[in-house]
Amino acid sequence: MKFRDGMWMVAEGKRPEYAEEVYSIAEHPAGNSLSLLCPTKRILQRSDSLNLPTLTIDIRAPFDGVISVETTHWLGALNPGPHYDLYPAGKPEKCNPGISKTDTSTTLRSGSISATVKTGNHDFDIRFHATDGSKELTSLLNRSVGFAYSPAPSNQLVTGDMSKFQHYIFTQTTLSVGESVHGLGERFGAFNKVGQAVTLWNADGGTSSDQAYKNIPFWISSRGYGIFIDTPDKVELEVGSERCCRVQTSVEAQRLKWYIIYGPTPKEVLQKYSILTGKPGKVPSWSFGLWLSTSFTTNYDEKTVNSFLEGMKARDIPVEVFHFDCFWLRAFHWCDFVFDSEMFPDPKAQIARLKASGLVKKVCVWINPYLGQASPVFKFAASKGYLLKRKNGDIFQWDLWQTGMGIIDFTNPEACEWYVSCLEGLFDKGVDAIKTDFGERIPSIDVEWFDSSLDPRKMHNYYAFLYNKVVYEAIQDRFGENEAVLFARTATAGTQRFPLQWGGDCESTPEAMAESVRGGLSLGLGGFAFWSVDIGGFEGYPPPWIYKRWVAFGLLCSHSRLHGSNSFRVPWTVDDDDTSEQGCSKTLAKWTSLKARLMPYIFAQAQIAVEQGIPLSLRAMCLEFPEDPTSWFLDRQFMFGDSLLVAPIFEESGDVEFYLPKGRWTSFFTNKTRVGPGWFKEHHQFDTLPLYVRENTILVLGKWHEMRTVYDYAQGVEVCLYQTKPGAKTTVVDSEGEEVGVLEIGEEGHLIDQDFLTGAWHVTRNGRSTIKSKATEN
């Protein structure tokens, strides 16, 4: 939303008003907040205080390293919900607030961050900076805070009828020279958002548009701070795109609140952000294995499912989770939780046979929060008030996706209870995990929720939180707190608490694979630890080379799923069952096996990611190397945990160019080392890619023959030392995520504290064993 036409003119049909000075400051007695009265013109004489608007800016110190800023035009305006569920684990007690003054300024301190307000010469100048004076972060300067009408009113009298006007609040934080901005959800465009106009409004737009399934009102700056916009409402940002030197945030409302979070490192920013909106939930070790789907519109039954899994077993490709996509339900009946009796006459027995065969451990099914009117369940749900209504009392319906589709109203506690009972029916049949698809197409016009106090526009994005929360907690109640797994498509702030998320509908092209990488990187910077993608691409028929390159990328995401639209993703259907070493089947088998071997590292890193509120994979390079300016612009590679660098390949030829930050890096596949910083070019076949291990890493690998993801991560392992120095450490956890020991390099350069390792484990130096050999017991 632009309010100006260039620097000098107002945008057509808009009338912005700006806070022109800080007229007065009220201090809270506790010393933890300031309230600024800011008129929209400078007050040079007493009569200037009449017939003009003011803005109130409340600056507060909620906890150490964080300051909130709330701008309000009319204080009497209601502020209906929903509101984000902040501090889900409790508000931290640690805070060191205080107020200090000089002749020309007032400063509010909140631990490591401070806000200084100039108070002389009719200024409007608010600076956010490190309390110790080491760094200025950003600021609110002249004409940077205000409100706007659209259309422009002819005089103040006509605003007596606000139904004829839209009213916006906006702020413009300064962008420094060279500063970059990242995050704002799962965005598939350029990684650095400077120069972009971004609308935070959940939409089913695929991965090739500026729309996003997961809009997160949080962004992180290369200057060591982040900003969380505290509203699920539709937010529009001009990131250096209205004024090149500012980030403008606007919302159609009477108030706008955001938090500025000081790191100074980006990891610390995310850790503090997770205090506000919640840490990611833990996921079980089995979920890191390969998931295989039936695909979307394909025709399948029990015979089809068994043939897939038997084919995978015959090709040494273990499947941990089998996923039944949409057509486990009857056509026109989505989503009434009733299996298609013609294709699946006894689903409970079928699932039991599937698990008893040993072909798969867990089963997942697809659901969405909608209900087609063809199902008898529709009438039942409508009669009980479980579906969203129009203002006149009609059920809200449209023929979008499902004919006469209704929408489950999760603001109705009884609707939630009923929905959970439907999920329990699936669990009784043997279902272990749920793919929570959709949740983006939530209307905001002519609707009234069961909780009529809620703002329909705010509910559009917030619905994703309620929907996934209900399903996630139902799985927790059945299987245990750390055993719940979703495959969710839509999200908003806080939804990281209900893992995991996947990247939505992508095409089967190298460009779409690159879009997906950018989406995963951006979402990770919103505190989402776990993320996946449709391996091979969702739309279309991937050529074998795309499929194989995507397999390598997909098995190095935190979670890995084969899924398509109208074609299967089992490897032999992609390349006519090429049995060569570089065929689809052998390629998938190698990468699946590699992920299984990496599980001691992956699962230990997963616990750290949850605790710190940071992504496991895809982890943006800037999180690990914030002092390297190049790391803030790398959107074709990522870190998997803190020690593995991954550069997917987007060329059929196998040519790839990637960047290594400062230090010595060792190729996982060859043990050859490279020294960064610098750009490097390599050529790879389909069973390798640039996978580099950071120096001073102790990398614990499972046995050569490990194929599944759940095993004893301390037994028979290979402990690989990569240019380690005294003090280097790594934690080993069990398959439940509990710590079993810490490996450390002692002063003599040898491994100490290793008594907890069992079986025929061994140590390799300067890399790993690249030839299978019998391990020797220590």
Catalytic residues: 437, 440, 505
For 745, the 3-state DSSP assignment is: strand
Maximum Cα–Cα distance across the chain: 91
Dist CA 392 CA 532 (whole Å): 41
List the strands of the sheet with 560-562, edge to edge: 433-436, 362-367, 321-324, 290-293, 560-562, 534-535
Which is nearest to 223 in space by CA: 320, 87, 336, 129? 129
Dist CA 600 CA 717 (whole Å): 9
Contact 533, 524 (CB under 8 A): no
- Helix pair 266-277, 599-612: axis angle to 10 deg: 70
Which is nearest to 659 in space by CA: 638, 687, 643? 638
The strand ranges marked E within 22-75 are: 24-27, 33-39, 54-63, 66-72
Report CA torsion sign: 201, 206, 210, 216.
positive
> Which residues does residue 173 pair with via DSSP β-bridges, in sequence order?
247
Dist CA 729 CA 731 (whole Å): 7
- DSSP one-letter code for 493: T
List the strands of the sheet with 145-150, edge to edge: 15-18, 145-150, 166-174, 246-252, 235-239, 196-200
SS3 labels along 89-145: CCCCCCCCEEEEECCCEEEEEECCEEEEEECCCCCCCEEEEECCCCCEEEEECCCCE
Give every CB contact of residue 133 below 8 A, 6+ residues apart in sequence. none
With the CA atoms of 122, 124, 128 and 133 taken in that order, what torsion angle do they form, in degrees rounded to the nearest 10? Answer: -30
The total of other beta-carbon atoms located within 10 Å of residue 35's CB is 15
Dist CA 384 CA 218 (whole Å): 38
Contact 408, 369 (CB under 8 A): yes
Kind plus residue range of the DSSP H or E element containing 552: helix 544-554
The strand ranges marked E within 119-264 are: 126-130, 136-140, 145-150, 166-174, 181-183, 196-200, 218-221, 225-229, 235-239, 246-252, 255-262
